[in-house]
Amino acid sequence: MRFVIVTGMSGAGKSTTLKMLEDIGFFCVDNLPPILIKKFAQICYSSDSGINKVALGIDIRGGNLFTEFLSEIKKLEEEGYELEVLFLDANDMTLIKRYKETRRKHPLVIEGRIQHGIDKERKILEEAKKRANYIIDTSKLLTRELKVELSKIFIEGKKYENLIITVLSFGFKYGMPSDADLVFDVRFLPNPYYIPELRQKTGNEKEIKDYVMQWEVSNKFIDKLEDMISFLIPNYIQEGKNQLVIAIGCTGGKHRSVTLANELFSRLIKQEYSINIYHRDVEKDGTDRLK
């Protein structure tokens, strides 16, 4: 029996996650009051239930009953039940945007600002997050990327480190990414913009990759960057960080930064971290002279 409790911040993707788990064979129940978890588990674990995979959605909509969440889990574990807790999170900016797009009210705010509800909910869920076996930050995840993360945990059985890495290329001329944890400037590398036949191509194309990576300085940089990131990641995991955004920038975000971001991504993915790549400015075609 695999008994998974799905909880987390309102708006972080719990309903979507339950649907995905249902698609891979889980029997899913949403918004069950925590006080009923034990009774539900007893039914599922009974020999005649015919159920071997269960996902139970628990969230703040349970009101005051949510305070029973951790105590009910502890009681079950003391009786020998094996439970897994999946906690879904997202940053405040993302949650606010999702609420505005759907025009929904935060469950803890009848009137007033969404931010107040988010702050209150984070405090209530603090201990639940600490108890979680898996934490997925959905701030930057597309639906298909969330499905990949769930597959790693619940189908492939891979070790999950609760850290999702995003390698991001960008152009300084369009502004630095506000959510970046680490920013690296590669404007010191030779710029293919000044080669007429390469100007309209991007770092996703072989011609640009070959041009950028032909220089010794480019290879030394990516080797040193990989070494540093590989050192930092285990320490970030130990510290409890759930989202790491590594931003690599050049002037326009089209050639050098894209090439180096792709190269870093290809190296880190071999280490089986949860990693995504995003080229923020690659499709922008600035008309002014790049420097």
Q: Consecutive 10-residue runs of the chain (291 residues): their mean pLDDT?
A: 92 94 93 84 83 88 69 87 92 89 77 85 89 91 90 82 90 93 97 94 96 97 96 90 93 96 93 87 66 39
Q: What is the dihedral of CA 70, 71, 74, 76, to 10 degrees?
A: -110
Q: In what order do the strands lie in the sheet with 243-250?
A: 182-185, 243-250, 164-171, 274-279
Name the DSSP letter for residue 153: H
Name the DSSP letter for residue 106: P
CB atoms within 10 A of CB 34: 22
Residue found by looking up tokens 């649907």 in the block: 19
Confidence at residue 268, expressed as pLDDT on a 0 to 100 scale: 92
Confidence at residue 81, expressed as pLDDT on a 0 to 100 scale: 87
Confidence at residue 77, expressed as pLDDT on a 0 to 100 scale: 87
Using alpha carbons, select from 157, 267, 254 the residue that is nearest to residue 223.
267
Confidence at residue 288, expressed as pLDDT on a 0 to 100 scale: 45
- The fold of the 2-154 domain, in CATH, is Rossmann fold (3.40.50)
The alpha carbon dihedral of 220, 225, 228, 234 has a sign of: negative
Q: How much is the pTM?
A: 0.75
Q: Any idea where the domains of the chain sit in the sequence?
A: 2-154, 164-279
Confidence at residue 291, expressed as pLDDT on a 0 to 100 scale: 39
Q: For Cα atoms 111, 122, 243, give the angle at the middle one, nearest 5 degrees.
A: 125
Residue 187 CA, chain-centre distance (Å), reads 28
Q: What is the dihedral of CA 12, 149, 145, 5, to 10 degrees?
A: -30
- Note the pLDDT tens digit of each residue in 1-40: 899 999 999 999 999 999 999 999 999 999 888 888 888 8
Confidence at residue 221, expressed as pLDDT on a 0 to 100 scale: 98
Cα separation of the two ends of the chain: 60
Confidence at residue 42, expressed as pLDDT on a 0 to 100 scale: 87
Asked whether the beta carbons of 185 and 172 are under 8 A apart, the reply is yes
